[in-house]
Structure 1
Amino acid sequence: MRLTDDLYGNYELEPVLQELIETKEMQRLKRVHQGGATIFANPKWNTTRFEHSIGTMLCMKMLGQPLDVQIHALLHDVSHTAFSHVVDHVYRLEEENYHELIFKNLIHQSAIPPILQKYELDAAPFMKSPLLEIDCPHLSVDRLDYTLRDMVQYGFIDLLDAHWFLTAVGVVNQQLVIMNMTQAEWFVETFYKQVFDLFLDERNIWAYGKFTSILSLAQQLGIITEQDFLLSDDALFQKLCSCEDATLHASMIELVAGTSEAYDASVKERYLEPVVLENGQLVISTNHSPFLQALQTEARTRYGSYNKVIN
């Protein structure tokens, strides 16, 4: 199998990667939107978990990481439920980690273990890679890919600029590092654009709140169960549409129509302070850039304007 990706270029895949991609568990991600309820706010915001999973794998390949790390990157989102993080809002999980809580069980019950055992790579999905799994304000491959992918696909940045930035990304001492301050500043500014112009777009916040209330009501009425969150987006949505409850139907119509109304929202603060190689030393970018310090101050002010902040 040979893959072509707009961000990372052309790559020949090892047989194990091809077999994993072809499993029904990975193929389901083609019908799971990365932005969850964002799809109701703007149909053009339609990146899938499959595209992102392939992207993180190819980014690891671009960075020269070994095969087990590439496998970990490919599979890291395989347990994301229908409409991604909406389930975290339904169950009020402030860590937004439902997919992580069910990850091991889903892998063990899937077609994935026999493939990995065949290639003696059965531990790969459960490894902890500092390049992929590290919280904000650190830069990770996961965060890098979804930022560039969304911002290019939705027209916020140019693909050539994304390629320019990727020339400055490297790995030093198992850390994801940006090789100069100029490109670090560009990426952090792009990251905050994504947060405030996409994640915290009022239509997006409203859609998340509205869809959360719909799914919560559907569970209370017994129309869906927790297991149904492991369906694809379209399958779960069709199950909601097929019910006969008038209140639920009215809310579904409002959601699809984008009928705006006041809605309380929980907002997660996200900051980014990537490591930069400057004068031969690894430094925290914000500590050495007045521009990034100003961006962070502005971000704190903007977060404070929303209804409720999750720390």
Structure 2
Amino acid sequence: MNSQKTNKLKIINDPIYGFITIPNSLIFDIIEHPYFQRLRRVTQMGLSSMVYPGANHTRFHHAIGCMHLMQKAVYILRNKNVAISDEEANALYVAILLHDIGHGAFSHALEHSIVNGVSHEEISLKFMRVLNDEFDGQLSLAIQIFEGKYHREFLYQLISSQLDIDRLDYLKRDSFYTGVTEGNISSDRLIAMMNVVNDELVIEQKGIYSVEKFIIARRLMYWQVYLHKTGLVAENTLVNVLKRAKELATKGVDLPAGSALKHFLYNPITESNFTNKTLKIFSELDDYDVMSAIKEWVHHEDFVLSSLAKMIIHRNLLKIEMQDEPFTEKYKNEIYKKISENKGIEKEDLNYFVLSSKIKHQAYNTNKPIKIYTKKGKLKDIAKASDQLNLKALSKPVIKYYLCYPKKTSLI
């Protein structure tokens, strides 16, 4: 008898959905793969835990949750006589499981600093292709659906649309872990109301209020959580500390860091030179590497690097002002002048400490509408089908401008 035989149909206990089943041995083997296990060491929400201490959940949690919701969606659609073959169902599970596998440490921070030549979506595809080779082509259909190249449009919409499985999990999950109850959508109800008409993913009319709540919840979660002003400062500081490290590394300054992080600091990373070898190194880079390096950089002789590192480690962040109109050049120049005089920061280094930018969010995009399937058999955009006037308002992008600069105690 082979003592090495593993039970591959395991059950995972999730705090939100309860027991999640792994549907087959291929999915089990993908989850067990080191590339996927790395997601246990990448937080879902970057540095949001500096604002919401409970927000320490990982991309691993989210990916498993998405797979669970996708199983529900397939079950519901099949019950409504939507033909989904076992091969297509499995491809959906694989595609949603791996949709975020290319995210770097702290989710978006690396993309804006040291791995800025390649997007996380492109890296996800690279991972999928390498895994496809390892699993003898069993991921081919999943990749086709993920890229939107499969002939059945609704399968792609389940992976990526305004009401996709990804959003149904992260809103509910992030709401749970932050404690921000406004984001708590009814993903079960939304999935139960799904249907397919003319190869399009639609929501039946009786699900209209759940969709309204989903769009409003998304808006509240963005402004209250994802774009929270303290979270923005923390994220920008993290990006800047990595940018400064990259700048110093380019000049040949020695920086303490793990080997994977060092590779990305000391080598220019572009789409053309991001080989499978680079991917392997990327797969060894996670939040732990970045945070342990930043802890070391607190003691570095470079004033900018050590100051930014201290801000993160001691959570002594920059001050932030936010408003609906752009800040005037006059006001920004006054801030620049005050900071350089009081803090003695060199002119060329000021941009690391005084940040001015804008954030934009659109809760609902009418260009890619969520379609409501009426009882009379018609398809209507939710913005037109809803009697909620505010849904039309939510389809307008909201822009806010912010300015960050050191408080009196920010630079230790």
TM range (shorter): 0.7 to 0.9
Indicate which of 126, 151, 154 corresponds to 1:105.
126
- Letter paired with 2:317: T
1:142 aligns with 2:237: no
Indicate which of 128, 153, 156 corresponds to 1:130.
156
Equivalent residue pairs, number: 299
**Is this contact kept in 2: 1:44–1:154, CA < 8 A?**
yes
Taking only the aligned residue pairs, the percentage that are identical comes to 23
Partner of 1:25: 35
**Does the residue aligned with 1:304 lie in a helix, a strand or coil?**
strand
Partner of 1:287: 384
**Is this contact kept in 1: 2:39–2:59, CA < 8 A?**
yes
Q: Deviations over 1:253-286 (max 9, x none)?
A: 2123142323424424233253223323332111
**Is this contact kept in 1: 2:98–2:128, CA < 8 A?**
no
Partner of 2:293: 239
Indicate which of 167, 175, 190 corresponds to 2:217.
190
Q: Which ranges of structure 1 fall in alignment gaps of 5 or more residues? A: none
1:3 aligns with 2:12: yes
TM-score between both structures, scaled by the size of structure 1: 0.83
**Is this contact kept in 1: 2:65–2:169, CA < 8 A?**
yes
Shift of 1:142: 1.5
Partner of 1:88: 111
Instruction: Label 1:124 to 1:304 Cα distance change in 2 as closer, same or farther (>3 A).
Output: closer
Shift of 1:161: 5.8
1:69 aligns with 2:161: no
**Does the residue aligned with 1:130 lie in a helix, a strand or coil?**
helix
**Does the residue aligned with 1:101 lie in a helix, a strand or coil?**
helix
- Letter paired with 1:76: H
Give the ranges of 4+ consecutive aligned residues of structure 1 lying more than 6 Å apart after TM superposition. Answer: none
Partner of 2:248: 221
Instruction: Label 1:249 to 1:91 Cα distance change in 2 as closer, same or farther (>3 A).
Output: closer
**Is this contact kept in 2: 1:177–1:274, CA < 8 A?**
yes
Q: Deviations over 1:76-116 (max 9, x none)?
A: 111111111112332797xx97111223333445x563235
Shift of 1:220: 1.0
Partner of 1:177: 202
Instruction: Label 1:232 to 1:112 Cα distance change in 2 as closer, same or farther (>3 A).
Output: farther
- Summarize the alignment of residues 231-270 of structure 1 with structure 2, pairs less than 5 Å apart: 231-243=285-297, 244-247=300-303, 248-256=305-313, 257-262=315-320, 263-270=355-362
Which structure exhibits the higher relative contact order, with contacts defined as CA atoms closer than 8 Å and separated by 6 or more residues? 1
TM-score between both structures, scaled by the size of structure 2: 0.64
**Is this contact kept in 2: 1:75–1:125, CA < 8 A?**
no
Question: Partners of 1:147 and 1:205 in 2: how far apart?
Answer: 19
Larger Rg: 2
- Summarize the alignment of residues 160-175 of structure 1 with structure 2, pairs less than 5 Å apart: 162=186, 165-166=189-190, 168-173=192-197, 174-175=199-200
**Is this contact kept in 1: 2:113–2:242, CA < 8 A?**
yes
| Comparing 77-86 and 165-174, the one that deviates more | 165-174
Question: Partners of 2:248 and 2:211 in 1: how far apart?
Answer: 49
- Letter paired with 1:271: A
Question: Partners of 1:8 and 1:145 in 2: how far apart?
Answer: 14
Question: Root-mean-square deviation (CA), in Å?
Answer: 3.1
**Is this contact kept in 1: 2:114–2:242, CA < 8 A?**
no
